[in-house]
Amino acid sequence: MNNSHSPDALQMARLAAAPSNWRILNLYATTRSLRERHGDEAGTFFQNRRLSESIILKHTLREHERDMFDQAPVVATKVLVPLQGRAITSGAISFFIGERAYPAIMRQSFGLRVSGAEIDRDAAILARLSETPSLDLFLLRELFAASAFRIPAAYFQVSLLEDDAIRAYITRELAPLIRMATSSADPAKVGRFVESIFGDEVGPQAADFFRSMGLAEAGWAGVAFAWKAALFYETRFLDTQRRFVAMLGELASVKSCNFSETYPRSLVEEHLASLKGFIGRAYQRSLSAAQAFNSQRRATIIASSDTLELKRYLEDLPKNVSGFGGCIAIVEHILSYWSYRTRELDKSRVPAEILCALTAAICSLEKQFRLSQPAAPLAATG
């Protein structure tokens, strides 16, 4: 654990102003905003109020940080907690979930159990956050939706209407579906629907639409949230594809040197083949997941004019989008780690030992985040 008044304090101040995304869960900003609007009735993400003002990060471990673990992962989940009763710039407690000292930190600083037959609720939430490859709110809402953790829904509210480019994309994509479902081509009606479903909460026009589709009212919020996620992911996926193609080009041009008895050419080639196999599987899995909800799928539904197929599409959105969110996070970790580790390397002359270590580290992500096997339920008390 680091109890810092300097580097972590500066990091906290910078992160406190950052919006939550796939790498950052900014509970500090969200919790304070909810308290300002709703007081103590707002509820908290964690039962421990200090943890509910934390900032949680997906962090690529530096070499000096790997010694903090018995078995160090490539990507660790870091928790930054402002020092109790002080401004955010006064410093923070920081620790990694799963580091060697983690049980003692949680017990001594927060009074929480992290192991045994019944771990505390907050510790169980942190364990889930550590297991998932992404801290994206779209993914986390689905991750915790069916659990007994009772995290207030306000923590997962997202509006996409402030971004003009996303708003235009949403309107363009939804207009044919609305016309199909309501037999109306009125642009004003489409605009009202976009406002109704893609703001912070489900509005009356969206409710009428879901009702006309025969969707159970209990699932409206989940469907609306997943629909936001689907369209948000689509607007970002093209950039991910571009960077993925660029990485493949770099990987194809990599040449190794300084072979030895310990690191012969055959071993390097074996590592490169393993890396190419892993990144290919990760990328293809994300493409397959996207096909369940993307614009091509919607175009097929529109062409068929089958409202029952549209209903099935909407009902399946939460699980389909959640699956994609996990897959694409793996791809993002691959791209991020490759960029981080190779930015100062001459890719035409990479020492065999370094290349083997780099490829092995990236491939270890496949074991760390097992997307094909959902995390086992964790008992939570408290």
Count CA atoms closer than 13 A to 65's CA, side-chain side: 18
CA dist., res. 330 & res. 282, Å (int): 7
- The gap from C-alpha 269 to its chain's centroid, in whole angstroms, comes to 32
**Closest among 59, 173, 54, 174 to 122, alpha carbons compared:** 54
> What six digits make up the tokens of 349?
């002359």
Q: Above 80 in pLDDT, residue 87? A: no
Q: Above 60 in pLDDT, residue 195? A: yes
SS3 state at 267: helix
- What pLDDT does 199 receive? 74
**Mean per-residue pLDDT, 136-157:** 84
> What six digits make up the tokens of 249?
């080009």
**Mean per-residue pLDDT, 285-312:** 89
Residue appearing with tokens 């509970």: 27
Would you list the domain boundaries of the chain? 2-131, 236-296+307-368
Residue 6: band (very low, low, confident or very high) from pLDDT cuts 50, 70, 90: low
Q: What pTM, to 2 d.p., does this model score?
A: 0.86
> What six digits make up the tokens of 217?
């009212």
Residue 186: band (very low, low, confident or very high) from pLDDT cuts 50, 70, 90: confident
Residue 183: band (very low, low, confident or very high) from pLDDT cuts 50, 70, 90: low
- What pLDDT does 16 receive? 84
- What pLDDT does 75 receive? 95
- What pLDDT does 57 receive? 95
Residue 147 DSSP label: S
- What pLDDT does 159 receive? 74
- What pLDDT does 39 receive? 81
Q: Above 90 in pLDDT, residue 101? A: yes
Q: Percentage of the chain with pLDDT > 70?
A: 91
- What pLDDT does 203 receive? 80
Exposed/middle/buried for residue 91 (C-beta within 10 Å: 0-12, 13-18, 19+): buried
Residue 360: band (very low, low, confident or very high) from pLDDT cuts 50, 70, 90: very high
CA dist., res. 109 & res. 336, Å (int): 32
Average pLDDT over the chain, rounded to an integer? 86
- What pLDDT does 25 receive? 96
